[in-house]
Amino acid sequence: MAQLRTGIAAMREPAEALRRLHEDYGPVVAFGVPPFRYVALFGPEANRYLLAEHPENFRWREALRALIPVDGDTALVVSDGSEHRRRRRLVQPAFATRRIESYVDVMTDEIDRELDRWTVGRELDAFTCLRAAVRRVAVRTLFGDDLGARADELGTALAGAIDFVNLPPTLQIRIDLPWTRWHRARVARDRADVIVNDEIARRRAERDRADSPDLLDALLAARDDESGEGLSDVEIRDQVVSLVAAGYDTTSAAAAWAVHELLANESAWERAAAEVVAMLGDRRPTVDDLARMDHLDAVVHETLRLWPPGFLSARHAVQAFELGGHEIPAGSTVLYSPFVTQRDPRWWPEPDRFDPDRWRGGREPAPYTFLPFGGGYRRCIGFAFATQELKVLLTRLLQRVRLVAEPVPVVGIGAAALHPKHGVPVRVEERRALATA
């Protein structure tokens, strides 16, 4: 097992640093110094071992405790064992296919609301602008129109906490003094909790809201088939906040990378727009439309291959185990990286090239070589929601505007999610009129 004295946390480009570790030292690399000591496992066999073959040997909470300031103590992502299984059973119906499909109009409304501001000649950061739209989608689908008007307020309240968990672990210093990042993160989360707790209490008091089936209603109505019990207010609050945070951080990052790639590659925007306009003209997309746009689907897949927002994840090893001829001790913080696997030339020819055609004809990647939403029984519960939202967002962009990219260095940063350090600065070159009907 390769031994390194330095870690990736303090490096400017953490995803690329991981990739260099793999290239220089192979599939099993130990690095860092206590308490920031890690073992990185690279490649599909490692992914299979962690996600499918031996999930019982790994816990999430110890490895991902840095997410608790945003997601909360009972969020799915930091739950383990029977508590995770119970919470996931209760949350799963909120992400049923039919429910997610019913949100296409909300997604379209919020993307259009943002694009209405994109006048010809305007210069803007597409990442920042789309981030706000994605946040409003998350809040409206969770709360309907009851709390939709407070989407920006809730997003602003969470921003300080999200900024904290996106710091490298070595900079996440938890000193609760007014000028510290940790204090700002705690205050931000407390502010978000007030908004969400008030809404939960109001919904509980109303009792019957069958006419307003948003995600919060689904969480309030959920009952465990085994015990008959539902989620507590604390559990609901944590699931709600973690869902908003995930939409705000990871989906908006993926949207930004998609815009970047479509503009950075010759004719990519025009080709994608041609499919969308040929199928839809200027009308709003439906679920059936999204399913028929093969090239758009390939653009989303290729973006998630090159730029998986969750480029890195961690597990805590309960017991010692062997992989690739190396003994990994119990108590290790084990890392795996979709970013590294999805840019490995053994599985992906010309891995750094944006090439949606590699997905043509329903081509399936080799097992455990494409996992932007994780895998196994703990695959991200919101993966279908996020994928649909990306398709709606790109559809409306391609229908409504033509953009020109402003040149900036392409640098991916972040710990909880990989986003463009310099944003995606663009100029609006053309704006297409939509039908009034």
The string of pLDDT tens digits covering residues 334-372 is 999 999 999 999 999 999 999 999 998 878 899 999 999
Kindly report the average pLDDT of the chain as a whole number.
88
pTM here is: 0.91
Beta bridge partners of 317: 58
pLDDT of residue 9: 42
C-alpha span between 234 and 362 (Å, rounded)? 42
pLDDT of residue 402: 95
Contacts of 139 (CB under 8 A, 6+ apart): 147, 148, 150, 151, 154, 155, 244
In one-letter notation, the amino acid at residue 308 is P
Residues composing the chain: 437
C-alpha span between 115 and 431 (Å, rounded)? 9
Q: Are 282 and 434 in contact (CB under 8 A)?
A: yes
Angle at 108 between CA 402 and CA 196, to 5 degrees: 125
Residue 99 predicted with pLDDT over 80: yes
Tell me which residue of 380, 384, 405, 387 sits closest to 299, measured CA to CA: 387
Beta bridge partners of 243: none
Residue 319 predicted with pLDDT over 90: yes
Q: Which two tokens stand for residue 198?
A: 């008030």
- For residues 182 and 343, the model is more confident at 343
141-150: average pLDDT: 74
Q: Please give the DSSP secondary-structure letter assigned to residue 406.
A: P
Contacts of 111 (CB under 8 A, 6+ apart): 133, 137, 392, 393, 396, 397
How many percent of the chain have pLDDT more than 90? 54
pLDDT of residue 249: 84
Please state, as a whole number, how many other Cβ atoms lie within 10 Å of the Cβ of residue 93.
Answer: 14
pLDDT of residue 283: 94
pLDDT of residue 341: 97
* pLDDT tens sequence across 11-58: 578 899 999 999 999 999 998 777 778 999 999 999 999 999 998 899
**φ and ψ at 303, to 5 degrees?**
-65, -45
Q: Are 80 and 61 in contact (CB under 8 A)?
A: yes
| Lookup result for tokens 């989906």 | 251
| Bond into 35 cis (ω within 30) | yes
What is the residue extent of each domain of the chain?
69-313+354-431
C-alpha span between 23 and 343 (Å, rounded)? 11
C-alpha span between 41 and 47 (Å, rounded)? 8
Q: Confidence band (pLDDT; 50, 70, 90) for 300? A: very high
Q: Which two tokens stand for residue 173?
A: 């210093």
**Within 13 Å, how many C-alpha atoms sit on residue 135's CB side?**
22
Give the torsion sign (CA, 133, 139, 143, 146): negative
pLDDT of residue 18: 92
Per 3-state DSSP, the chain is made up of helix, strand and coil in percentages (nearest 5) of 55, 10, 35
Tell me which residue of 154, 317, 340 sits closest to 245, measured CA to CA: 154
Q: Are 164 and 185 in contact (CB under 8 A)?
A: yes
327-332: average pLDDT: 92
Contacts of 25 (CB under 8 A, 6+ apart): 2, 4
Tell me which residue of 252, 242, 249, 232 sits closest to 193, measured CA to CA: 242
* pLDDT tens sequence across 211-264: 557 888 888 888 888 788 889 999 998 988 888 877 778 899 999 999 999 999
Question: Under CATH, which architecture does the 69-313+354-431 domain have?
Answer: Orthogonal Bundle (1.10)
pLDDT of residue 152: 76
Q: In what order do the strands lie in the sheet with 123-125?
A: 123-125, 425-431, 401-405
**231 to 68, 217, 224, 357: CA distances (angstroms):** 18, 12, 9, 44
Residue 4 predicted with pLDDT over 70: no
Angle at 308 between CA 184 and CA 13, to 5 degrees: 65
